[in-house]
Structure 1
Amino acid sequence: MQLSIATVLQDSAARHPERTAVVEGGERIGYRELWRQSLAFAAELRERGVRAGDRVAVLLPNTADFPRAYYAVAALGATVVPVHALLLADEVAFVLRHSACRVIVSGGPLGAVAEEAAAAVGIEVAEVRTDREPLPSAVPAAPEDLAAVLYTSGTTGKPKGAMLTHANLVLNAMVCAQDLLGLTPDDVVLGCLPLFHSYGQSCTMNATFRAGATLVLTPRFTGPGALELLVEEDITVFMGVPTMYHALTETAAADPRRPARLRLAVSGGAALPVAVLERFEKDYDTVVLEGYGLTETSPVATFNQLTTGRRPGTVGHPVWGVEAAVADAENNARTVLLDDGESGEVVIRGHNLFAGYLDDPEATAAAVVDGWLRTGDIGVRDADGFLRIVDRKKDLIIRGGFNVYPREVEEVLARHPAIAQVSVIGLPDDARGEEICAAVVLRPGADADEAEIVDWARERLGRHKYPRIVRLLTYLPLGPSGKVLKRELKEICG
């Protein structure tokens, strides 16, 4: 049976040949032309010796070259290895060496890093070119064949390569496009998310192309720049992470323009404070749906679905074909499921579950127990089946013997009228083990001080929960997917 991720683009090129697939700056590329360009670059890669089953790294910004390269690799029956665009050359070299890539595709501002990394490993760099005679057709692939290897951030050590099959990616794209977002060829999706990341790759690019809709790309996100595109390109669906929602709410205060057709916004990658969700919905007159997943779940696992109900502050219900439950977080040898209302580790199984970590059976065995992926997130499911993510298991703060989850504190502080962004961490404390620290970025023009914020929090949080330490910062350190880098934040605030 053939089920290649390449068919996502191939099918839309056949059904909607003249519709615009990608908008990048002043360039508009139709579906038929984008597929032709992908097959032409696939011919170039074949000339360089790439064959079915080989691995090809892609280190490119959010430009049309990314989908050209991505689908070219898939069309050859090879495996794409998207590379984090902020890595240093030696970090890129680790990915190339570990994944045994045959070629790295790069160019433009990332070309120098790619050249240095490739030289260290002894492979060649290929720039995207579309002037060759295209391949006549894509190489067939089986559902269980390896489509992509996506490397985790490596915050607890060396990055691990999560292996995703064609079935993983195709089904996730279909579920996103049809069940969750109801995308049609008339939709225009804003692609601010980095395409090397699973959220941007699967939910934005693959789902948009599955529906024959239009993807508007921007290499670099800013609030004003995103609002400009929302208005000028008549965007109907916005996908972002919490920091993007914050930036757009701040931009809305200074710019009265609003998109005319924005029917839906999607948040993922990290927890979206309810206060920010409410502000965005009010400012942009739309609905925000929050979802949840990991690279290892292709990535979407649960979602606030229009068919099963929406509840802000939760990540909704499992998507079609997927189960999500809560298990005993202390039992690592077995997956013992808990009742609704009990707090524990979120576990997932279904068609979206990855095929394991590349060349790391021990890590795979630790992550998948009794057929369930142990996510490392603490959550609770209510009587209506809505899943709420409490926090990352590793981010738990233990203050004087009491467990404090940072997200609960962040949700409260996000409602302070002077606070634009907040992240809560635990700092070492001789008396209590850890002390709660709130790292805060103030709204423009606000003049609240540390003591005032502590007093405000004391009135709204339990005695063991409110932060005794507040650090006023000009920014929060962020990773490429918009998550706050808490390890770096602890160094800043400590």
Structure 2
Amino acid sequence: MNTTHFSHWPAGLPHAISTPDTSVYANLDISARRYPHRPAIIFYDTVLSYAQAHADVLALAGYLQNVCGVRRGDRVLLNMQNSPQFIIAYYAILRADAMVVPVNPMLMTDELRHYLDDSGAKVAIVSQEIFARTAPLVGTTGLAHAIVATYSDYATAPTDLTMPDFVRAPRDVPAMPGVVAWQEALGQKHAPRAHEAGPDDLACMPYTSGTTGKPKGCVHTHRSVMINAVASPVWSGPVVPDNVTLAVLPFFHVTGMQSVMNAMIYCGGAIVVLPRWDRDAAGQLITRYKVTTWTLIPTMMIDFLSNPRLPEYDISGLRRVSGGGAAMPAAIAQKMLDLTGQTYMEGYGLSETMAATHINPPQRMKQQCLGIPELNVDSRIVDPVTFQELPSGEVGEIWIHGPQVFQGYWNDPQKTADAFAELDGKRFFRSGDLGYMDADGFFFFTDRLKRMINASGFKVWPAEVESMMYQHPAVQECCIIAARDAYRGETVKAVIVRRPGVDASEAEIMQWAHEKMAAYKVPKQVEFVDALPKSATGKVMWRALQEKELSK
């Protein structure tokens, strides 16, 4: 294990910490007993205390167990935008001893079917504005129960903030078998059974895709979720209930889930929730609630700092601004430093590691850098062919050993075996990302061993998009590559060979794709070609197309 980075370790912090041998739900239970009257969730000026949030968690957990038949180890689909209901549902599922299956609310019906079939979830908790995509699956798949949440039920206080129409919308839950409105479910006031889940029980299963098609579930226990819920606030400190965070990163994604939601519940702090990015609402909320921490992606900060109304907002209370997913442009980082006095704290993690494994130390932050291996983490740069550890300065695959590493891919022992390798007697997760370590022990990203597109922090896996594109009658062959985008960094491009006799325009292809897949996966560019380059064995040479595109 290389310990060079220890010379840049946060002062007074041990290199490893102990975490609670409890379920993640216990963090909410403890905070609710310690700080019952403190704000837990702030949603467009409606404030929910820890006691109120915990009471709703217990009522929903009771409904899941007594009405929906949820048992220990069952999977429950959670599909909604950032909201009080997401936080309550997440902890209610854990309180019911079940596993959260968080999904992107942009997913369409065909995509959702895979998550339900693969996870075996019989219950889904879905928000009203996107329930129409889940409705066809109730009773026609294994999905027997759907609890439908209306955001406006938790946005009752008067506010001068700009509230989107989908948040203002009144309750409108369709009457159909197996479907119940959130408020009705809570109103039944079922008491949950005694909490049984411990640190090694199933807790959360975010999905990730890969090079061979459909998304696969990353199995996490309460223990692997707990470490980053604790480590995130401990790293930059202080762990106090006076922390206030602005939640703009989606909770379904591991960074928003861990560094924002779970970390703040562990501290007993307040979560100021925005369901969608709105730079003016962000500025108003930071000012109004004296936000101290803010985790975001670079595109949000670029938009925030370009706002002509920025001088109206008081952002001086920010003590930490952090994020990942993509490197922060140097000019934007400098402008943020000038305005807030904060250096952007970049980090690195994956769904397989339940958020961060590397992060920049507060007193020594390098820009456009993944940081150093954080608490309890051993990370190496390894030759992906020979499996030999490489010295500083040489590019290899980033390998990770630590308590936040997942148990494996759901129902896929072969992919699980392929994802791990042994080094120095330890089991390391092979990230599929290439990088190097500098002389100070800081890690830098250089390229991907895995084929992936990073569009504003959303990971797009070409093989998954290609498999859906082949459903279009005009597509004979398709290759998905990354194209440069001034705002998103990268965007999705489809290179297509038309099927003879079937005509379709670029616009028609893109419109069709919008109806079939989440918006962030939809090709923003389409190019028709006569043939795709292929190897001697007939494989599409996607890298040749990618290099040609990036050389433009």
Q: Return the match for 1:107 from 107, 112, 127.
A: 127
Secondary structure at the aligned position of 1:376 is classed as strand
State how far apart, in whole Å, the 2-side matches of 1:72 and 1:353 are: 24
Per the TM alignment, residue 277 of structure 1 is displaced from its structure 2 partner at its CA by 1.6
Q: Return the match for 1:278 from 334, 338, 346.
A: 334
Tell me, yes or no, if the aligned pair for 1:340 and 1:380 is still in contact at 8 Å. yes
Q: Return the match for 1:235 from 291, 311, 336.
A: 291
Q: Return the match for 2:365 from 310, 327, 351.
A: 310
1:19 is aligned to 2:51: no
State how far apart, in whole Å, the 1-side matches of 2:310 and 2:232 are: 33
Unaligned runs of 5+ in 1: 397-405, 408-434, 443-483
Tell me, yes or no, if the aligned pair for 2:61 and 2:192 is still in contact at 8 Å. no
Larger CA deviation: 178-187 vs 286-295: 178-187
Per the TM alignment, residue 276 of structure 1 is displaced from its structure 2 partner at its CA by 2.1
Which residue is 2:22 aligned to? Answer: 3
The correspondence of residues 50-199 of structure 1 with structure 2, limited to 5 A, is 50-123=70-143, 124-127=145-148, 128-129=182-183, 130-133=186-189, 135=191, 139-153=195-209, 156-199=212-255
Secondary structure at the aligned position of 2:399 is classed as strand
State how far apart, in whole Å, the 2-side matches of 1:387 and 1:3 are: 32
Which residue is 2:421 aligned to? Answer: 369
Which residue is 2:404 aligned to? Answer: 352
Residues 9 and 322 of structure 1, relative CA distance in 2, 3 Å threshold: same
Q: What letter matches 1:338 in structure 2?
A: L
State how far apart, in whole Å, the 2-side matches of 1:101 and 1:217 are: 27
Q: Return the match for 1:39 from 58, 70, 73.
A: 58
Tell me, yes or no, if the aligned pair for 1:187 and 1:236 is still in contact at 8 Å. yes
Q: What letter matches 2:375 in structure 1?
A: W
State how far apart, in whole Å, the 2-side matches of 1:51 and 1:99 are: 15
State how far apart, in whole Å, the 2-side matches of 1:217 and 1:174 are: 20
State how far apart, in whole Å, the 1-side matches of 2:229 and 2:429 are: 20
1:440 is aligned to 2:496: no
Residues 229 and 289 of structure 1, relative CA distance in 2, 3 Å threshold: same
State how far apart, in whole Å, the 1-side matches of 2:140 and 2:451 are: 36
Tell me, yes or no, if the aligned pair for 1:59 and 1:114 is still in contact at 8 Å. no
Tell me, yes or no, if the aligned pair for 1:77 and 1:138 is still in contact at 8 Å. no
State how far apart, in whole Å, the 2-side matches of 1:58 and 1:486 are: 20
Q: What letter matches 1:74 in structure 2?
A: L
State how far apart, in whole Å, the 1-side matches of 2:442 and 2:99 are: 36
Q: What letter matches 1:301 in structure 2?
A: T
Q: What letter matches 2:431 in structure 1?
A: T
Per the TM alignment, residue 254 of structure 1 is displaced from its structure 2 partner at its CA by 5.7
Larger CA deviation: 38-47 vs 141-150: 141-150
Q: CA deviation digits over 1:11-46, x for unaligned, max 9? A: 111111111000011311111111111011001111
State how far apart, in whole Å, the 1-side matches of 2:376 and 2:139 are: 43
Which residue is 1:246 aligned to? Answer: 302
State how far apart, in whole Å, the 2-side matches of 1:325 and 1:149 are: 26
Q: What letter matches 1:37 in structure 2?
A: D
State how far apart, in whole Å, the 2-side matches of 1:345 and 1:490 are: 31
Q: What letter matches 1:362 in structure 2?
A: Q
Secondary structure at the aligned position of 1:56 is classed as strand
Larger CA deviation: 367-376 vs 278-287: 278-287
Q: CA deviation digits over 1:240-284, x for unaligned, max 9? A: 011111111212676543323111101112222223222222233
Tell me, yes or no, if the aligned pair for 2:21 and 2:223 is still in contact at 8 Å. no
Q: What letter matches 2:402 in structure 1?
A: G
Residues 92 and 269 of structure 1, relative CA distance in 2, 3 Å threshold: same
Q: What letter matches 1:350 in structure 2?
A: G
Tell me, yes or no, if the aligned pair for 1:6 and 1:75 is still in contact at 8 Å. yes
Q: What letter matches 1:282 in structure 2?
A: D
TM-score, length basis structure 1: 0.78
Secondary structure at the aligned position of 1:147 is classed as strand
Which residue is 1:325 aligned to? Answer: 380
1:298 is aligned to 2:350: no
Per the TM alignment, residue 142 of structure 1 is displaced from its structure 2 partner at its CA by 2.6
Secondary structure at the aligned position of 2:418 is classed as helix
Q: CA deviation digits over 1:206-264, x for unaligned, max 9? A: 00110011000011102222222222222111110111111112126765433231111
Secondary structure at the aligned position of 1:201 is classed as helix
Per the TM alignment, residue 298 of structure 1 is displaced from its structure 2 partner at its CA by 1.1
| TM-align CA RMSD | 2.9
State how far apart, in whole Å, the 1-side matches of 2:241 and 2:416 are: 39
Which residue is 1:424 aligned to? Answer: none
Q: CA deviation digits over 1:76-110, x for unaligned, max 9? A: 11111111111001111110110000201113102
Which residue is 2:17 aligned to? Answer: none
Secondary structure at the aligned position of 1:46 is classed as helix
Per the TM alignment, residue 155 of structure 1 is displaced from its structure 2 partner at its CA by 6.9
State how far apart, in whole Å, the 2-side matches of 1:204 and 1:151 are: 19
Q: What letter matches 2:141 in structure 1?
A: V
Tell me, yes or no, if the aligned pair for 2:233 and 2:263 is still in contact at 8 Å. yes
Which residue is 2:322 aligned to? Answer: 266
Larger CA deviation: 117-126 vs 79-88: 117-126
Report percent identity of matched pairs.
Answer: 32
Q: What letter matches 1:36 in structure 2?
A: A
Larger CA deviation: 175-184 vs 369-378: 175-184
Unaligned runs of 5+ in 2: 1-19, 149-181, 455-480, 489-518, 528-548
Residues 181 and 295 of structure 1, relative CA distance in 2, 3 Å threshold: farther
